[in-house]
């Protein structure tokens, strides 16, 4: 029966963050060995750990060193989480107590947000700053209760005083991404800053949507891909020529003389609006445009394809018992046997 066993294994170096192991199957068991720490008697550092999908998320059955001897422990958080995701999933709701007016708006939460820099976060239900509510942003963590987002809100009429946020757990379930636009630099080429880290590559064709909320809202409507039959507006065909940052692309559009990019006001947003956004043009013609919030269906030459994910998330431990530290070399193995007996 061994021809039906499913086994995957690999190795990585810890970068100081939790590590997701993407697998072609959902394993029945998962093991890891900390090669770097195997012969080191570091206090409370995991040397070996085992997990199974029937256990609660974050559980790991581990062997640690207490400095002089090896002990077996059960971690109930920061261990292994077995994940099978086909639709967008969110973390717990965070209450926002304020969003500042700043070149990079700072979001404050009422409790520890437990985010890491680079996480995708949905912000919604704001009191004030309605023009940013309902979009997903990449967070830069500043403290346990604050993080910034790539929005220059310094020119907004007022700060936000309340709202809600949720971590988007798997932002890449549908690719290429749809990314909200937070800034546009004009010139012989055009630099687009995105709300969430984009994943675009040089040479990729992109579709740009700049909604016309009013004659002045958003601005740079000349950049919209499908502005046909409009005076002094040429439909744009844009390709990525460089990627200066994880949330920036440069496209081959000469935007010299275009109207400056600008957010609508909070009052305009209250009346209803769509976000300015840039979409990757894919190779299939179905699927939503992610990460959310989803745009209305748009017929474009190619669209998006599902990137459902399954596998195991290796956490960093519970704060006392450490699964892995920066630069630790981790060996892992995932197994789904052809025979599973539960009794």
What are the b/e assignments for 172-195, b being 16+ CB within 10 Å? ebbbbbbbbbbbbebeeebbbbbb
State the pLDDT at residue 233.
55
Report in angstroms the alpha-carbon separations of 55 from 18, 30, 50, 75.
19, 12, 11, 11
Strand-pair category, 19-22 with 70-85: unpaired
Q: Is 267 exposed, middle or buried (0-12, 13-18, 19+ CB in 10 A)?
A: exposed
Confidence of residue 297 (pLDDT cuts 50, 70, 90): very low
Report in angstroms the alpha-carbon separations of 29 from 55, 137, 291.
11, 34, 30
Confidence of residue 301 (pLDDT cuts 50, 70, 90): very low
Highest mean pLDDT among 12-26, 165-179, 226-240, 271-285: 12-26
DSSP state of 132: G
Question: Does pTM surpass 0.75?
Answer: no
Q: Please state the separation of Cα 229 from the chain's center in Å.
A: 37
pLDDT in tens, 186-226: 999 999 999 999 888 898 888 888 887 655 578 888 888 76
Domains and CATH numbers, the chain: 2-86+309-336 (no CATH), 94-168 (2.40.30.180), 172-307 (2.40.30.180)
Q: Are 195 and 182 in contact (CB under 8 A)?
A: yes
Please tell me which residue, 275 or 147, carries the higher pLDDT value: 147
State the pLDDT at residue 214.
58
State the pLDDT at residue 212.
75
Instruction: Provide Rg for the chain, Cα atoms.
Output: 23
d(CA 295, CA 17): 31
């Amino acid at each position: 029966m061994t021809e039906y066993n499913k086994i995957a294994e690999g190795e990585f170096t810890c970068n100081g963050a939790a590590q997701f192991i993407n697998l072609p199957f959902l394993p029945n068991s998962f093991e890891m060995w900390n090669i770097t720490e195997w012969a080191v008697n570091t206090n409370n550092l995991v040397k070996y750990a085992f997990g199974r999908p029937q256990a609660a998320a974050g559980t790991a059955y581990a062997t640690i060193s207490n400095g002089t001897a090896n002990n077996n422990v059960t971690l109930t958080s920061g261990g292994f989480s077995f994940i099978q995701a086909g639709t967008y999933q969110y973390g717990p709701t965070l209450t926002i107590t304020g969003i500042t007016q700043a070149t990079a708006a700072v979001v404050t939460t009422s409790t520890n947000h437990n985010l890491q820099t680079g996480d995708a976060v949905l912000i919604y239900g704001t009191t004030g700053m309605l023009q940013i509510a309902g979009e997903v942003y990449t967070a830069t963590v500043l403290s346990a209760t604050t993080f910034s987002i790539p929005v220059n809100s310094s020119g907004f009429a007022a700060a936000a005083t309340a709202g809600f946020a949720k971590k988007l757990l798997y932002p890449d379930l549908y690719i290429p991404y749809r990314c909200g636009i937070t800034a546009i630099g004009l010139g012989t080429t055009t630099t687009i800053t995105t709300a969430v880290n984009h994943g675009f590559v040089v040479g990729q064709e992109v579709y740009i949507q700049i909604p016309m909320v009013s004659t002045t809202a958003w601005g740079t409507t000349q950049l919209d891909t499908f502005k046909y039959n409009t005076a002094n507006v040429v439909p744009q065909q844009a390709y990525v020529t460089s990627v200066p940052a994880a949330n920036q692309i440069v496209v081959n559009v000469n935007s010299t003389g275009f109207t400056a990019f600008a957010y609508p006001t909070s009052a305009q947003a209250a009346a209803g609006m769509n976000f300015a956004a840039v979409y990757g043009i894919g190779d299939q013609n179905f699927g939503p445009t992610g990460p959310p919030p989803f745009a209305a269906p748009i017929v474009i030459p190619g669209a998006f394809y599902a990137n459902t994910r399954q596998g195991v998330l290796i956490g960093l431990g519970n704060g006392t018992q450490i699964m892995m530290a920066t630069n630790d070399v981790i060996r892992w193995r995932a197994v789904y046997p052809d025979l599973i007996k539960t009794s």
